[in-house]
């Protein structure tokens, strides 16, 4: 079984390596000196900043990116999701920041019949777990869902969501206790969850001809964010074959595989109504009244009394947006509230201190915190 390897994190040129050779290199310490440097630096930063693991990750980031990396899910002509030549039947799951749970997590994963290999991450505080999956790129995301669910059930840990990318890089590491199981069995992919289609227009979805007309008005490269959504917009209204056909006409410089990738992982909040809006923004006008928006008369919307938990900060059953500059303790305040709400029975809702310092540029200003005696859930 062969996989692709890249020299470092910035290089997209790949070369072939046998899976057994890569695992042997990790076990025997082909990059031992580099890994020891990374782990020593990581541990030093952890001691200096024990409550902020991001500092340690940032400190070793450049050292990690200089390592060779493996694309465990197959052979690629280049490091790109759309450049897959042959799927390897392996999906590598990242479990980061295990810290004190690392040994227990490792022991639990070793009980999995689907586990192909398991070794320490470069920083030493996580694990790289390779699972046998269906060697089918079209089912790769479904296999990711199966692995994600399996790891959560077996080890009680959630894997990194970026592992769903078929061209996901995994940096070389060093682990003399690497686990290797060539006889691992294949985990069955889970069915893709059905996502509700949101509609902001009144009437049936536009036809293929109408969408082709709309795409003529949409810039082929209006910016990454817009391009990223267009395939999902078109895919919401048409079957995949028709959608990819029109998308290839719309932006010929894009590879069909990139469109297919976007259609397989449609954004749940993107729908054909967004395409209608985008096309109209650039000058498209619908013919007839088949595609019209549904408007709501605000005079028909009735107001409702607010049930306050803490006036005027927290309202029961409402969505809140907590905004502020970085370092202004939004997270601390939110977690404090969450901790108070999660307690059972009568809950004291008092903060100490009563004053929260808010950093604005190089100055600090005082913000009085909510005050109250108590409330009952």
pLDDT given at position 351? 44
Q: Does residue 305 lie within any of the structural domains?
A: no
Cβ-contact 142, 193 below 8 angstroms: no
pLDDT given at position 364? 46
Spatial distance between the Cα atoms of 266 and 231, rounded to a whole number of angstroms: 8
Same domain for 170 and 50?
yes
pLDDT given at position 199? 45
Domain that holds residue 128: 2-180
Same domain for 219 and 340?
no
Q: Does residue 128 lie within any of the structural domains?
A: yes
Domain boundary at 293, 321, 346, which?
293
Same domain for 38 and 88?
yes
Same domain for 140 and 220?
no
What contacts 170, CB < 8 A, 6 or more positions away? Answer: 69, 70, 71, 72, 92, 94, 128
pLDDT given at position 377? 33
What contacts 255, CB < 8 A, 6 or more positions away? Answer: 82
User: Which among 41, 54, 56, 64 has a CA at the least distance from the CA of 122?
Assistant: 64
Whether the full predicted model's pTM is greater than 0.95, yes or no, is no
Spatial distance between the Cα atoms of 122 and 36, rounded to a whole number of angstroms: 9
Half-sphere exposure of 320 (CA within 13 A, CB side): 16
pLDDT given at position 198? 43
Q: Does residue 97 lie within any of the structural domains?
A: yes
Same domain for 253 and 172?
no
pLDDT given at position 7? 94
Same domain for 12 and 128?
yes
CA 147 from centre of chain? 15
pLDDT given at position 347? 46
Spatial distance between the Cα atoms of 359 and 374, rounded to a whole number of angstroms: 29
Same domain for 30 and 110?
yes
Same domain for 21 and 83?
yes
Tokens representing residue 291 in the block:
């595609």
Domain boundary at 148, 180, 212, which?
180
Q: Per-residue pLDDT for the chain (377 aa), expressed as one digit of tens each?
A: 899 999 999 899 999 999 999 999 999 999 999 999 999 999 998 888 888 888 888 899 999 999 999 999 999 999 988 899 999 999 999 998 887 899 999 999 999 999 999 999 999 999 999 999 999 998 999 999 999 999 999 999 999 888 889 999 999 999 999 999 999 999 999 987 765 444 445 456 788 888 898 888 888 875 556 777 788 888 878 888 888 888 888 887 676 667 777 676 666 556 777 788 888 888 888 765 445 555 667 777 777 777 877 777 778 777 788 887 777 788 888 888 777 777 654 444 444 444 444 444 444 444 454 444 443 33
Same domain for 98 and 247?
no
């Amino acid at each position: 079984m062969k996989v692709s390897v890249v020299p470092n994190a910035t290089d997209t040129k790949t070369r072939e390596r046998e899976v057994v050779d890569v695992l042997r290199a990790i076990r025997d310490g082909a990059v031992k000196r580099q890994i020891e440097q990374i782990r020593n630096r990581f541990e030093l930063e952890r001691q200096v900043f024990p409550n902020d693991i991001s500092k340690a990750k940032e400190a070793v980031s450049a050292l990690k990116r200089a390592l060779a990396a493996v694309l465990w899910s197959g052979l690629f002509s280049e490091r790109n999701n759309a450049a897959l030549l042959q799927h390897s039947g392996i999906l590598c799951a990242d479990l980061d920041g295990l810290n004190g749970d690392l040994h227990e997590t490792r022991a639990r994963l070793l009980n999995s019949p689907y586990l192909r290999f398991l070794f320490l991450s470069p920083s030493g505080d996580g694990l790289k777990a390779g699972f046998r999956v269906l060697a089918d790129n079209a089912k790769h995301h479904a296999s990711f869902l199966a692995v994600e669910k399996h790891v959560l059930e077996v080890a009680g840990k959630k894997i990194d969501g970026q592992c769903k990318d078929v061209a996901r890089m995994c940096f070389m590491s060093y682990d003399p206790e690497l686990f290797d199981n060539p006889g691992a069995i294949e985990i069955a992919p889970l069915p893709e969850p059905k996502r509700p289609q949101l509609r902001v227009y009144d009437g049936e979805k536009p036809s293929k001809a109408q969408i082709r007309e709309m795409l003529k008005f949409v810039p082929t490269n209006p910016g990454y964010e817009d391009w990223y959504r267009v395939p999902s917009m078109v895919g919401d209204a048409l079957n995949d074959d028709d959608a990819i056909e029109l998308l290839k006409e719309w932006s010929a410089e894009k590879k069909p595989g990139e469109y297919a990738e976007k259609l397989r992982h449609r954004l749940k909040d993107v729908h054909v109504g967004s395409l209608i809006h985008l096309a109209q923004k650039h000058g498209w006008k619908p013919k007839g009244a088949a595609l019209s928006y549904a408007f709501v008369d605000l005079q028909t919307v009735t107001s409702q009394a607010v049930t306050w938990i803490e006036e005027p900060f927290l309202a029961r059953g409402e969505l809140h947006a907590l905004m502020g500059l970085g370092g202004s303790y939004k997270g601390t305040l939110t977690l404090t509230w969450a901790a108070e709400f999660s307690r059972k029975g009568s809950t004291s809702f008092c903060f100490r201190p009563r004053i929260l310092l808010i950093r604005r540029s190089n100055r600090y200003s005082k913000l009085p915190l909510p005050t109250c005696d108590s409330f009952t859930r």
